[in-house]
Amino acid sequence: MPKHLVSGLKYIAAVNLTKQGYSQKEIAEALDMNRSTVSHYLNGRNLSWKSIEVAKIITEMCPRDFLLLTHSLTQNTEITRTIIRTCQKKKFRATIRNSCIGCGLCVDTCLMKAITLRDLKAHIESEMCCGCLICVEMCPTNSIEIKEVEFDGNNRSN
C-alpha cells in the first residue's frame, strides 16, 4: 500500500508541476521517476484512482502530518520536499526573536531545510517553511514564531 500512496502523491505533484510550467524531464528529475512513467501518470495510466484519492487526503492533512507521513512513505527527504512544496496549499511567515542563542537545534530539525545560522542567529526562509512547527517545539528559548499567511502575503491573524 505505501508504494501506491507514494505513486498517488507523485501523481498530484507531477500535475501541479505541469501546471507550473515544468517539463516532463524536469518533473522526472524532481520526483526521481523515469520520464515515461511521468508521461503515463499525466495521461492517467498505470495508476490506481483509489491511491490518488488517499494521496489527496494526505495533502490536506495538517502541515506536520502531511510532512511526516510523506517522509515516512517516500523514505526520501528530497522527494518529500518536492512533494510538500508542490502540493502544500498554505503559506507561512517565520520570525526569529532576539532571544535566539544560535544553538542550531532548529537547523538540524527542519526537514524542509528552511533554517540556517547567520552570525550565530537562526534565519528561516519563509518561502521554504511548510508550517510543521517542529522547530518551535524544539527551540529551548522559545525564539521561533511561525504564522500562517494569506497567499497574497497578508497575515490572517492580524
Binding site for ligand SF4 (CB under 6 A): 94, 96, 100-106, 109-110, 112, 114-115, 122, 124, 129-135, 138-141, 143-144, 146
Work out whether strand 144-149 and strand 121-124 pair parallel, antiparallel, or are unpaired: unpaired
For ligand SF4, the closer CB: 73 or 110: 110
For ligand SF4, the closer CB: 24 or 80: 80
Taking the complex as a whole, the smallest distance from the CB of residue 146 to ligand SF4 amounts, in Å, to 5
For ligand SF4, the closer CB: 5 or 135: 135
Taking the complex as a whole, the smallest distance from the CB of residue 134 to ligand SF4 amounts, in Å, to 4
Nearby residues of 42 by Cβ (< 8 Å), 6 or more positions away: 14, 15, 18, 24
For ligand SF4, the closer CB: 9 or 122: 122
Residue closest to 33 by CA, chosen among 69, 74, 1, 72: 74
- What is the Cα–Cα distance from 33 to 15, expressed in whole angstroms? 14
For ligand SF4, the closer CB: 25 or 113: 113
For cell 518529500, the residue is 80
Residue closest to 12 by CA, chosen among 61, 64, 73, 59: 59
Q: Are 39 and 21 in contact (CB under 8 A)?
A: no
Taking the complex as a whole, the smallest distance from the CB of residue 21 to ligand SF4 amounts, in Å, to 25
Nearby residues of 2 by Cβ (< 8 Å), 6 or more positions away: 73
Taking the complex as a whole, the smallest distance from the CB of residue 128 to ligand SF4 amounts, in Å, to 7
Taking the complex as a whole, the smallest distance from the CB of residue 48 to ligand SF4 amounts, in Å, to 30
